[in-house]
Structure 1
């Protein structure tokens, strides 16, 4: 690896994804375990150890990184003292600069390549960022599976499990197809209850059922199809809310959009019902790609960017304060 090697890291509900560029092609790495948490917040010391392990496993020869950027789910609300990542990773990789940003920032950068517009980041959770990269920074949703994240993987999984449990109870509005999927995946409903309510990451388990809801929808189950259609509408409402003050340019990121056949039509039609001139641009890359782009630009990032902390060796390691317009 060259002295200008950079690493981009995406930390989402589905795990850790890494992109490393040392000038000889991009190396990818992944850790699919749930993000470590401590009383709800992201556990930064454990996260740093896992990020380091993915980098060292994926690129065994790396001994110095000029720049690194980490897009973290839950920032700023659930990420306390991000300087912890600088202390844990700075010396370990001889970092010149480190950017710690919300994963909505890295998803936006990956999808639109630092262009103005709105990007919906939807995986286990959902958060949307509309920005012109200057004075407009609109966040919509991102409030977690108990308070928001409408249309996310956890929301879809929860809606699907509720329909399955209604069928189990012989209540109206249930789905026997989803009940069969639930039983095949989790066993008896009491096993599901114990798994979800005793888990340190219930959203992860809820979202793990979203692929089963997609499978049932493609098999023609009306309840599953309604859930996915409503998810598309919920994501669209979030996207429209984040478009205030911007040209109506939209893109997306996150693994939920892999179910494009179920999601895109209700998503796009709902946006266009409000904003007829809306333009939809397929994402140029992923959140990990956006993080890599930020890593390469880490030394020149200015403090005007909100939702972002910047640390470097040229300045005393310090946090550049967040500011939010909404």
Structure 2
């Protein structure tokens, strides 16, 4: 009898579910909105997850799931794990699936395991949020960063977006001596005309962290136009991500010559200046390590994590 796995990537911006068999064949895959309870609350997270699970069952008719790997943002503490576990338990009870084994992990940790298997390595993600995880390949996993937008997420899309908006407000106040093209680029992106409209956008009732992260999309254009503040923000982002990487590598050390740091997330994939600066900073400390920019979607690595647990 064929065995099936569920892989769920519950990120800060979106959630993807994939139902696959033991050979990796995809029977159902769908992406919907965030299930990060820290961003949208537990009730909304539960509803999104329940609807997604039921969509998968309705579309496939497959009921028995050998392993379900829930890779969820917000699983950073024991309390966070307990909250997410309750959300998942209620969603499972409201779905038609019979799941025999459930894995609940931080989304970065689960992706790392799917990437490295039994090998040592690290994963640095900079998307809406940011975090670095590393493993020695023998079951030990360490982390740095990933503490959320209120106190951390340095070098992430959210952090960059906030830095960009802070720059615009500081210039408007007269606290910055030089003008910045970031103002015009953000106004064009949001289809607004002045600082009051920008303030209204920030504090509107339906604001989300993902919307703040989207502001980071203007950074590359501003850099190409030679904007000094945009270049400063890129340097700061790269430095923060390198500090995060150094911290987690020191925790997991020693680092051998074949050690790979996997890189994922929209900031590292779509901002070549940040990517180059980041690599340069890390190479100064660890000249022998190599980097691998992930070219698959995170859900594929999480599915690998689920499939490995079948063996």
Q: Same fold (TM over 0.5)?
A: yes
Spell out the pairing of 1:239-318 with structure 2 (5 A cutoff): 239-244=245-250, 245-247=253-255, 248-283=259-294, 285-298=296-309
Partners of 1:130 and 1:246 within 8 A in 2: no
Q: Tell me: CA distance 1:135–1:163, structure 2 relative to 1, closer, same or farther (3 Å).
A: same
Partners of 1:111 and 1:286 within 8 A in 2: no
Alignment deviations for residues 27-74 of structure 1 (CA, whole Å, 9 cap, x no partner) = 53211x3435368755542242243256358x4444442221111111
Match of 1:129 in 2: 133
CA distance, structure 1, for counterparts of residue 99 and residue 234 of structure 2: 43
Provide structure 2 residue ranges, at least 5 long, that are not aligned to the other structure.
none
Match of 1:158 in 2: 162
Does residue 85 (structure 1) correspond to residue 88 (structure 2)? The answer is yes
TM-score by length of 1: 0.79
CA distance, structure 2, for counterparts of residue 47 and residue 235 of structure 1: 31
**How far apart are residue 126 of structure 1 and its match?**
0.7
192, 196, 217: which one aligns with 2:198: 192
Alignment deviations for residues 76-124 of structure 1 (CA, whole Å, 9 cap, x no partner) = 3344150441342266211121111101112213443453111112211
Match of 1:30 in 2: 31
Partners of 1:6 and 1:67 within 8 A in 2: yes
Q: Tell me: CA distance 1:92–1:208, structure 2 relative to 1, closer, same or farther (3 Å).
A: same
TM-score by length of 2: 0.83
Partners of 1:240 and 1:271 within 8 A in 2: yes
Q: Which has the higher contact order (CA 8 A, sep 6+)?
A: 1
Provide structure 1 residue ranges, at least 5 long, that are not aligned to the other structure.
301-326
RMSD: 2.8
Greater helix share, structure number:
2
CA distance, structure 2, for counterparts of residue 259 and residue 114 of structure 1: 29
Bigger CA drift: 38-47 or 69-78?
38-47
**How far apart are residue 175 of structure 1 and its match?**
4.6
CA distance, structure 2, for counterparts of residue 158 and residue 131 of structure 1: 31
Match of 1:206 in 2: 212
Give the secondary-structure state (helix, strand or coil) at the position aligned to 2:96. coil
Give the secondary-structure state (helix, strand or coil) at the position aligned to 1:243. helix
**How far apart are residue 11 of structure 1 and its match?**
1.1
Partners of 1:156 and 1:210 within 8 A in 2: yes
Match of 1:215 in 2: 221
CA distance, structure 2, for counterparts of residue 118 and residue 175 of structure 1: 39
